[in-house]
Every structure is written in structure tokens, then in C-alpha cells.
């Protein structure tokens, strides 16, 4: 039987998997602990820009999601909303397995700050971002993809 916190983490993973956008960007979320998340995905040329590397859309999507879910892992009643996100590209991404690791930084009431890093298959950081996230009026329990078990 899962603890309340573990059930919340698994429900967030289910919510992530249910998002229609992830049909365009296949990926898998794992909440690794309170304030921590990990997204794994594979990049190929279908998301490249004209110069043969991944478009910034991939960097933003995965960094925002990893930071967002790290923050929302600390909130069990409401869906958070991204209010700002700062992104830094550190290395071009061509193809391969990528991991986005999210970490909560501060805030526990209304506004949360979280950061994320993108790590390529060689273990190099290829991007980093920091976001601010605010509690919304949207109840997690009212979202179809958020399924509490145990």
C-alpha cells in the first residue's frame, strides 16, 4: 500500500502521461522524491531545426515539465501554473537519450521556484532552466489524468 505522498507522486505521473502534448513528445515522468522529478525521452531528427540540431521547443518543454512536476510534487490539492521560465542553452542536442532532472528550490505556499537540467547520453549538461510556478484554482482531483490509488 502506498503512502499518501507516494500515491500523489504516482497520480502526478499519470497526469503527465495523460497530457495530449506528450503524443508529440513521447517521454516518461518519474517523481523521485518530494521536490524532485526526472523525465526521460529520446530525441531524433524529427525535432531538428534547419541546421540539424534540436529546436529550442524540446529544451523548453522538458525543462519546464521537470521543474513544474518537482514543484507540484509538494502540492497535493492544486495544479500549479508556470508564470515565468528562464532558459539557458549550453550545448546543441542532435539525437539520443536525454534526461531532464527537476529540483524544487523555494516556496511552499503560493509561489514556488524550481530548476531543471537537461543531461545527454554522455552525461553532459545541454541546457538549464529556472521557473516560477503559482497555485491555480484548478483542483488536481478534478483532472481526469490525476488518479490516486492506494
147, part of any domain: no
16, part of any domain: yes
93, part of any domain: yes
C-alpha to C-alpha distances, 117 to 23, 88, 89, 126, nearest whole angstrom? 22, 10, 10, 8
Q: Which residue in 62, 56, 143 sits closest to 99, CA to CA?
A: 62
149, part of any domain: no
What percent of the chain has pLDDT above 90?
89
72, part of any domain: yes
The values of phi and psi at residue 27, to 5°, are -160, 165
The values of phi and psi at residue 25, to 5°, are -125, 75
End-to-end CA distance of the chain: 6
What count of other Cβ atoms lies within 10 Å of the Cβ of residue 100? 27
150, part of any domain: no
Mean pLDDT within 103-128: 96
Q: Is the pLDDT of residue 98 over 70?
A: yes
Which residue range forms the structural domain that includes residue 72? 4-142
- The answer to whether the CB of 140 falls within 8 A of the CB of 16 is no
49, part of any domain: yes
The burial of 144, by beta-carbon neighbours within 10 Å (0-12 exposed, 13-18 middle, 19 or more buried), is given as exposed
Total structural domains in the chain?
A: 1
pLDDT, position 61? 97
| Distance separating alpha carbons of residues 40 and 79, to the nearest angstrom | 22
Q: Is the pLDDT of residue 1 over 60?
A: no
Q: Which residue in 78, 76, 73, 7 sits closest to 34, CA to CA?
A: 73
Q: What is the CATH number of the domain that holds 36?
A: 3.10.129.10
Amino acid at each position: 500500500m502506498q503512502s499518501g505522498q507516494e500515491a500523489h507522486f504516482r497520480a502526478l505521473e499519470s497526469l503527465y502521461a495523460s497530457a495530449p502534448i506528450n503524443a508529440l513528445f513521447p517521454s516518461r515522468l518519474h517523481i523521485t522524491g518530494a521536490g524532485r522529478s526526472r523525465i526521460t525521452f529520446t530525441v531524433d531528427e524529427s525535432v531538428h531545426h534547419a541546421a540539424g540540431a534540436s529546436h529550442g521547443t524540446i529544451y523548453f518543454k522538458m525543462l519546464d515539465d521537470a521543474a513544474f512536476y518537482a514543484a507540484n510534487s509538494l502540492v497535493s490539492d492544486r495544479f500549479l501554473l508556470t508564470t515565468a521560465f528562464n532558459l539557458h542553452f549550453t550545448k546543441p542536442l542532435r539525437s539520443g537519450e536525454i534526461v531532464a532532472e527537476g529540483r524544487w528550490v523555494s516556496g511552499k505556499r503560493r509561489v514556488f521556484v524550481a530548476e531543471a537540467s537537461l543531461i545527454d547520453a554522455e552525461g553532459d549538461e545541454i541546457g538549464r532552466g529556472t521557473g516560477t510556478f503559482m497555485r491555480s484554482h484548478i483542483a488536481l482531483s478534478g483532472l481526469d489524468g490525476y488518479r490516486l490509488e492506494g
